[in-house]
Amino acid sequence: MCGIAGILDFGNVSQPREQELTSMLASIKYRGPDESGIYIGKGIGMGNVRLSIIDLSAGQQPIPTADKRYWIVYNGEVFNYIEIRAELEALGVQFTTHTDTEVVLYAYATWGPECLSRFVGQFAIAIWDKQKKELFLARDRMGIRPLFFTRSDGRFSFCSEIKGLFQLPGVKRSVNHKALSQIFTFWTTITPNTPFEEVFEVSPGHYMLINESGSSSSRYWSLSYPQDNQYSKLSLDESAEVMRGLFKDAVKMRLRADVEVAAYLSGGIDSSVTTAFIHELEPGVLNTYSIGFKEKAFDETAFQLEASKYFNTNHTAFSCSSEEIGRYFYDTIRHTEFPILRTAPTPMYMLSKKVREQNIKVVITGEGADELLAGYNIFKEAKIRRFWAANPQSDIRPLLLKKLYPYLPMMKEAKTTVLKMFFGYRLADTSHPYYSHLLRWHNTSRIQNYFADPVLAGLQGYEPIDEIAATLADGFENFGHQAKAQYLESSVFMSGYLLSSQGDRMAMANSVEGRYPFLDHRLTEFVTTLPDSYKLRLLNEKHILKHMMKGKIPESILKRHKQAYRAPVYQSFLGEGAPEYVKEMLSEQTIRDFGYFDAEKVSKLTGKLLQGAAATEVENMALAGIISTQLLHHFFITSQVKVADGDKPANLMIINDL
């Protein structure tokens, strides 16, 4: 895994300079601490920082084809590179390294953008065609690896992280208020937007071509579901057998590395499944890692240890306190480069930090299973609400909602009137294409009430939900109810938040690469064809996965109630030992100076929580969102975001092709 950066200048305004590229790479050198390289040609400069995982002794980037026409910088892994390499060798290609990077390069030189359909992996690619004077950028199907770009002063610049773009003179640094509104509704922006004006991302499943005529963006893959009458006719047993084969191959490919591959073990079914398959494929000792919480309401350590004992792994368990979460939240936002409404990414940052201290570079995790197999409560919630909507006067049907959140004390005692008040938003609007998510988005959007009056005035009439339509897959309107819900959760929440703020950014901050077998597109494309009941059977989530794994993981984990991964929020910021930066970011003067929030409303919120009042979910989200937005401004607007003079990435190689 790596970090990449580049500058393209077609207007002869300013030839990209070594110092500019060095600064960009230095700002993200934790993504690739082993070695780095820069290519500078006429009107183009590209660079890479490398975390060496495959072919450790070779493969320093940038890498050219033999004729020096194509040059690549690349972040990620194409796991089936061995098979593609053999195909290319049969066509006469001669390789000089054993890396997947060179395979990606020659695949593009041979097949052009169509090569993307052959890749099984997670990647962000930049290839310069010296002959055509054209830059090719591409991002993996689900958006596991990041890639951002901007245009300024007649130049096109790209980088794995936004902070790299901010190293360049002329790049605008301003928070986009509409993007804030999106984040304070969906937990993320709607692609290709980011929190910053004039900074965008290459959308998941897309590639771009940039040349003297301009730039174009094309979608090469999208998550898709069949219409209701076109689902697979395979039986549950037959489907489970196919799924088992696909998942086993996905895990097998993700074990390809010239360094040790470890695994995260959260105590839930998903990480237990990945551990079971790793154990089956490589019966030797597997190192597993987990994070727990000193606050018992959030802790799953008992299940983590049970899974470790079952598979006889060499397990290392870490725990964190709310005070530590508050302290490390500061670093979290420096890496997310997005405001966040939860503290959940911070323990993942702390976990990857501990893992890297033990010289582990690669971990396999269970992300993606909840979206793929309808594991989240939002899918059950939508199903119950539709059932309730058929008889809205019922006092019994809303009580089903209590089954979803047994770990939340407030839900145990909730009466029908309370449930109707909380879950009844737009209950009858069952024909709305986003019905499954309307309630969540509405509740989250309430935290926009903390915005300052000038921000609210500028957003008057703006509806973030309208932005989603342009990103939907072809045929979305014909998906079934559950399929629509799964598509929205995957394309908005998972891609924009889970795989980014809680995934890539937290792991790569500590030079750790995460690999996600559940997000292998071959498995995804198969599972989307299966009937809804194979995924969500009544209110039993991941039915086919549980069926497939019966007797192969601990029964207690197989049958345990789904518990969302959560971390303490207000306890981390306002409890004893709260970090000093929180006081500064929430001070009346700083709130007014930055201009995003109403100082009086923020003071009222913190005053209530400091007096010991229980925080609601909305108040927790508001607190995390306010502090993280303030920190975002602190890091990227107030500060210069510049690396220190003389700071360089490791083992830098310069290729001058002017």
Longest CA span, the chain: 75
Query: In CATH, which superfamily holds the domain spanning 228-372+489-559?
Result: HUPs (3.40.50.620)
Does 13 score more than 80 pLDDT? no
Looking at domain 2-221, its CATH class is alpha beta
Give the model confidence (pLDDT) of 69-89 as tens digits.
999 999 999 999 999 999 999
Give the burial class of 391: count Cβ atoms within 10 A of its Cβ; 0-12 exposed, 13-18 middle, 19 or more buried. Answer: exposed
- Average pLDDT for residues 321-342, to the nearest whole number? 97
Least confident of 49-53, 454-458, 597-601: 49-53
Give the model confidence (pLDDT) of 552-595 as tens digits.
999 999 988 777 788 889 999 997 788 999 999 999 999 999 99
Does 3 score more than 90 pLDDT? yes
pLDDT at position 229, please? Answer: 78
pLDDT interval class at 45 (50, 70, 90): very high
pLDDT at position 1, please? Answer: 67
pLDDT at position 644, please? Answer: 66
What does the block give as tokens for 577?
């030992």
Alpha-carbon span 162 to 199, nearest angstrom? 8
pLDDT interval class at 299 (50, 70, 90): confident
Alpha-carbon span 394 to 412, nearest angstrom? 19
Alpha-carbon span 462 to 441, nearest angstrom? 15
Look at residue 181 and give its three-state secondary structure.
helix
Identify the DSSP state of 32: -
Does 58 score more than 70 pLDDT? yes
- Average pLDDT for residues 170-181, to the nearest whole number? 96
SS3 content of the chain, % helix, strand, coil (to 5): 45, 15, 35
Domain locations along the chain: 2-221, 228-372+489-559
pLDDT interval class at 547 (50, 70, 90): very high
Reported as type and span, the H/E element at residue 357 is helix 345-357
pLDDT interval class at 55 (50, 70, 90): confident
Alpha-carbon span 562 to 132, nearest angstrom? 53
Alpha-carbon span 628 to 622, nearest angstrom? 10
Give the model confidence (pLDDT) of 399-455 as tens digits.
899 888 776 767 777 888 888 888 999 999 999 999 999 999 999 999 999 999 999
Q: What is the mean pLDDT of the chain?
A: 94
What does the block give as tokens for 532?
């809804």
